[in-house]
């Protein structure tokens, strides 16, 4: 059973979203692009956490089945799970990290576009 759910997780978690992302790029739909970008960010964070917690996850019964249900929830247009997780958890966390002086320092040193956006936001906030 592990093999079947593992393959299903790969198909619905990676293959199907990859195809949907490619179709979205080809159709130039910015709403769909944003939705799939949010999915990929959520999926990357999830996979990173899964790798870090691998030893503990081994002891969770039916983990792959639970993961598969979670993937369905993330990709389903009816639930917009990835959008919900991104907007309620990831985006606020990232905004907090971006405001850290050490992160801003390295963004500026790398001449990252995000550093210019932050500078523009601060300048606009001061002028108002």
Distance CA 121, CA 127 (A): 10
End-to-end CA distance of the chain: 60
Model pLDDT, residue 28: 77
Residue 126 has pLDDT above 70, yes or no: no
Show me where the domains of the chain are located: 2-91
The tens digit of pLDDT for each residue in 72-111 reads 999 998 999 999 999 999 999 888 887 888 887 887 788 7
The answer, as to whether pTM is greater than 0.85, is no
Neighbour tally for 86: CB within 10 Å:
23
Tokens of 32: 């769909």
Taking the CA atoms of residue 80, residue 81, residue 83 and residue 89 in that order, the dihedral angle to the nearest 10 degrees is 160
The tens digit of pLDDT for each residue in 6-32 reads 899 999 999 999 999 999 888 877 888
Taking the CA atoms of residue 38, residue 42, residue 43 and residue 49 in that order, the dihedral angle to the nearest 10 degrees is 160
Residue 51 has pLDDT above 90, yes or no: yes
């Amino acid at each position: 059973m592990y093999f079947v759910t593992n393959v299903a997780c790969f198909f619905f978690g990676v293959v199907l979203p990859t195809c949907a992302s490619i179709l979205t790029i080809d159709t130039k739909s910015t709403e769909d692009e944003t939705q799939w970008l949010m999915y990929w960010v959520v999926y990357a964070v999830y996979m990173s956490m899964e790798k870090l917690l691998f030893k503990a996850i081994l002891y969770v019964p039916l983990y792959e089945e639970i993961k598969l249900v979670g993937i369905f929830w993330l990709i389903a247009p009816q639930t917009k799970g990835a959008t919900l997780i991104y907007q309620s958890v990831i985006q606020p966390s990232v905004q907090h990290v971006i405001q850290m002086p050490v992160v801003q320092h390295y963004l500026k040193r790398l001449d990252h576009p995000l550093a210019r956006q932050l500078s523009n936001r601060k300048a606009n906030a001061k002028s108002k």
